[in-house]
Amino acid sequence: MRLDRRTLLTGLAATPLGGCGGLPRMAMPSLPFMGTEPVEQKPWGTLPDGQTVTMFTLTNAKGSQARVMTWGGILQSLKVPDRDGHMAEVVLGLDALADYIERSRNFGSTVGRYAGRIEGGRFELDGREVQLDVGSGPHSTHGGPVGFAKRNWLGRPDLTDEGPGVVLTLVSADGDQGFPGQLTISVTYRLTHDDRLILDYLALTDRATVLNPTNHSYFNLSGDPERLILDHDLQIEADAFAAYAPDKIVTGALTPVAGTPFDFRTAKPIGRDLFEANEQLRIGGGYDHSFAVRGQGLRRAGRLSDGFSGRSLEVWTTEPALHVYTANPVEMIGRGGVPYHPHCGVALETQHYQNSPNRPQFPTTILRPGETFTSRTEFRFSAS
């Protein structure tokens, strides 16, 4: 079952901001999925305010596995087979809830209300200026100091013929981080039996607002995060990218990729042009840019592949842009005590463009009462 408009309106409208109660645990059938229940849920820690964080483990018929937790709507783990059928971790992560709270770089998190930067934390909506919370910086970033990635979502199992899933839901109050309107949002993670990880977003508001959620997982298809992703081949279905001004705010211009390090129309190693003397690479500290995906509707945005393991990942989305971030400044200890260094992973974030509320030439991110926001992203895995 997928959350629809009526479910959100009737079942969740009264849920308090950030609450973790309210949705019942569903009874799940017992199926022979590699000796494992298709959806398991267990407590995974307690927040300082006493709320319990739940971890959902999804296992498909092939034995691939995704772990999703209610804190931050985070994809904490994803294991898929290589060319020899060996399962290994393909997303970066941390070992404990405290690590995610204290030192996360948005590993696997659900980002919102607005992914990326909004200039000065200000924009005009229906003739009035909206001022967002900006924290310690000059701009609103990833939804504010306490955005969706720092909330404990409601979670419940969701099993269909396609594969096991979990539905996460959050109610964000009117004025939350400065954003207008009470927003009710769900994201459904589903691990299908053919190794697609599907993310379905659905949202409603009672007042005009802006919305741009995404998932911030860092992929490393080698299965070994000590191997950098510089030799991963990346191909992107884009002829242009959103350029930055010197302060790393998008200018509103879509710059052709031809003749630049941003030309991924034909697959090439991520590291081939990453260190070129290029002003956009200098501003971003590497690749940290949104690419204008060709076409409309659910279509392929790009493909990532790793010759070492044989794994490949196709990204399909309904969103207008694919934001590529090569973990440029990451330097920390990650899951299992493994050191994470710059370029240990690559984020492939399906979303709208940054600062769209101040750039009318970009597709609108406005959501109004009576409208339903929907978005789908599929990460399609294979190995050869």
Strands 209-210 and 74-81: unpaired
Q: Is 211 exposed, middle or buried (0-12, 13-18, 19+ CB in 10 A)?
A: buried
Q: Active-site residue among 139, 142, 216, 323?
A: 216
Are 303 and 293 in contact by the 8 Å Cβ rule? The answer is: no
Residue-wise burial string across 80-119, b where 16 or more C-beta atoms lie within 10 A, e elsewhere: bbbeeeeebbbbbbbeebebbbeebbbbbbbbbbbbbbbb
Nearest to 224 by CA among 364, 377, 366, 336: 336
Which phi and psi angles does 306 have, rounded to 5°?
A: -130, 115
262 vs 62, 235, 280, 296, 302, CA distance in Å?
36, 10, 9, 21, 13
Secondary structure class of 312 (helix, strand, coil):
strand
Whether the Cβ atoms of residue 219 and residue 383 lie closer than 8 Å to each other: no
The sign one gets for the Cα dihedral 337, 338, 341, 343 is negative
Q: Clarify whether 86 is annotated catalytic.
A: no
Separation of alpha carbons 94 and 341, rounded Å: 14
Cis peptide bond upstream of 335, omega within 30: no
Q: Is residue 349 annotated as part of the catalytic site, yes or no?
A: yes
What CA dihedral angle connects 114, 118, 124 and 129, to 10 degrees?
Answer: 100
CA pair distance 173, 192, nearest whole angstrom: 33
Q: Are 53 and 71 in contact (CB under 8 A)?
A: yes
So which residues are the catalytic ones? 216, 349
